[in-house]
Structure 1
């Protein structure tokens, strides 16, 4: 008698295939969900890291800015907005500066304070500033008298432990500092948003070495001058709330110092990557006083 052949019926095969399909779908859905969670967490961490880097770098530089040099550069017809300041390269106390109606002079005697300060060497377009009380005065390079003059070099210390700041030309300062304090500032620095290709292409750049510009607006001439010099990309996918000068939600706002607090800089940034959004509101206190 022949042995009976064993196998699967068509119905059994259909049932098994259906069960395997349901199980596979559940497994792949679980794996896909885990992958999406990982990708979302990675994107969020990337946004947080980028936001922290930009805000920390900017806040450190603002705290080391020459008093009252922080200002915003408002956009005209351009899709741009900047915050600008003059970094401090050296500071200390002077013995005397020429103030109207005194005679102009090209040398200023200052106290030698520390080895770190004495290591300063003048660079192109460094400025000696005395009692800068407004940003307009800080960036004004044509008035006479004024609060800032280009530095030629530094010499000393002499036998009295005094250093000499030699200026490029004869200087006549607007007024004395109440505490006889001076600052040497480097070339201005600007953090700027550019919206070249629409809101989705807004990037944040850092610029320097473009020199002192009296006008605080981003005119076409100023934009060309700023963007033609040293440029560093600070962050991509940054969407400021607004770039319109009249808007209350500008990314950078400067609040001058009062009798009860130091100057404040308000920073509003919104980082976007795919569907991930991170809003950053930050305040920087600027402790330096003239």
Structure 2
């Protein structure tokens, strides 16, 4: 007769299982909190870095273009509620002229110039001695006398420019300098936080055009966001004088994730037409 043997079963009690689940839950809660916080820090820092990069880019781009603006071509306008814009005409090429038809001389269809390092593009216009904003934006290239004219031909072997009709420039440049120009450029700061760059619109306007006149958002490039307009607009323009260059003061303020930073940037425009 076989004797009965006792068997000892192995396993976890309900209390042990509940204890393990609670411990694992607390651990997972701590780990998930750490991951969430780390992710949030990463997202916030990425957003800040993105706004910083955009702001540096637009300030650097504006600085380079404004420094290359035609003397006396800058003008600033603002709408107290919606926007502030700065407009200027970039220099496409520049050099000295040797012989141009200039008042009080007779009009002529030809002139002799030195070839700029950038060359002469027949799509551009020749500008000589602009002293006022109206000399550029109110110019009539089809007129017989003025400061801005179209070029029909250019012979780089004889350095001869040919205009599409007989012309006469209003005044001679003291440094015998001419500029080749194409289109105006505008940078606009909006109350909604955007900075946009406009070009390709009609530059011959007595009054500085508004963003709507320049074609609105459809014809512009978004350069930066998150600008804060806190009581004053970020562009201050001081025209040049006989002893001082023109100065553009840029003080845009940006905000992201409740962090604010502001630029204090000054751009000088050489006032030598």
SS of corresponding position for 2:252: strand
CA change 1:94–1:226 in 2 (3 A) is: same
* 2-structure distance, mates of 1:157, 1:21: 82
Deviations 1:65-107 (A, max 9, x none): 111212223337x723221111112211123444444333343
Q: Cα deviation per residue 1:179-225 (whole Å; 9 max; x = unaligned)?
A: 11111111111122455xxx2xx432222221223334445xxx444
Q: Quote the residue 1:212 is aligned against.
A: 203
TM (norm. structure 2) is: 0.81
Corresponding residue of 2:249? 266
Q: For each residue in 1:95-130, what CA deviation from the matched residue of structure 2 results, as whole angstroms up to 9, or x when unmatched?
A: 3444444333343321235xx34x32211xx33222
| Unpaired segments ≥5 residues, structure 2 | none
CA–CA distance in structure 1, aligned partners of residues 178 and 233 of structure 2: 32
215, 218, 241: which is aligned to 2:229? 241
173-182 or 97-106, larger mean C-alpha shift: 97-106
Match of 2:151 in 1: 152
Q: Could you tell me which residue of structure 2 aligns to residue 127 of structure 1?
A: 125
Distance 2:207 2:250 in 1: 18
Alignment pair present for 1:226 and 2:199:
no
After superposition, residues 1-290 of structure 1 pair within 5 angstroms as 2-75=6-79, 79-112=82-115, 116-117=117-118, 119-123=119-123, 126-142=124-140, 148-158=147-157, 161=158, 163-194=159-190, 199=192, 202-218=193-209, 223-227=211-215, 231-241=219-229, 249-258=232-241, 261-273=244-256, 275=258, 277-287=260-270, 289-290=272-273
Structure 1: runs of 5 or more not aligned: none
Q: Distance in 2 between the 1:18 and 1:229 partners? A: 57
Q: TM-score, normalised by structure 1?
A: 0.77
Give 1 or 2 for the bigger CA radius of gyration: 2
1:148, 1:173 within 8 Å by CA — same for their partners in 2? yes
> Secondary structure at the residue paired with 2:227?
coil
Q: Deviations over 1:216-270 (max 9, x none)?
A: 4445xxx44411798342334242526xxxx6x3232222234554322222333
Aligned length: 268
RMSD, matched Cα: 3.2
Are the counterparts in 2 of residues 205 and 234 from structure 1 also a CA contact under 8 Å?
yes
